[in-house]
Amino acid sequence: MDYLHKYYDDAACVLRKMCLDAKAPHLSSALPPTLPWKFNKHKVKLNVTYEKLLNLMLKYNGGKPRAEAKLKSAVQLQDLLDATRMFVPRTRPGRESDSDPEDLEHAEKLCQVKTVVEEVL
């Protein structure tokens, strides 16, 4: 079924190029060849232990304590980014030697979350 989506995306790109070439050639070369609304999906699984992040997850998952939260809107992602930025500096520099490997893995995942959300926003 994925090939069908690719087919329609490719067809839309060709049609867009043809229309722009005919009506606005100056825009045709300025736009990327792929459709601008295509985004990669990023999934990050993270056990949340910080209270601020727990409260954020509860806010967006309907208040279910052990449920998954799917954050998609710009507002939700900005909230996540703001909360994550609070914890990344604390977990990064110079603490590797005395930290438990699980804490280091958690810190690395927080850094990944921060990086991905910054790219999307």
Q: Cα–Cα distance between 26 and 37 in angstroms, integer?
A: 21
pTM of the entire predicted model = 0.57
**Domain extents in the chain:** 1-38, 39-121
Q: How confident is the model over 26-78, as pLDDT tens digits? A: 877 776 666 555 556 667 777 777 888 889 989 998 998 888 888 888 899 89
What percentage of the chain reaches a pLDDT higher than 70?
76
Q: Find out whether 60 and 76 touch, Cβ atoms under 8 Å.
A: yes
CA distances from residue 25 to 9, 10, 37, 79, 104 in whole angstroms, order as listed: 21, 20, 21, 40, 52
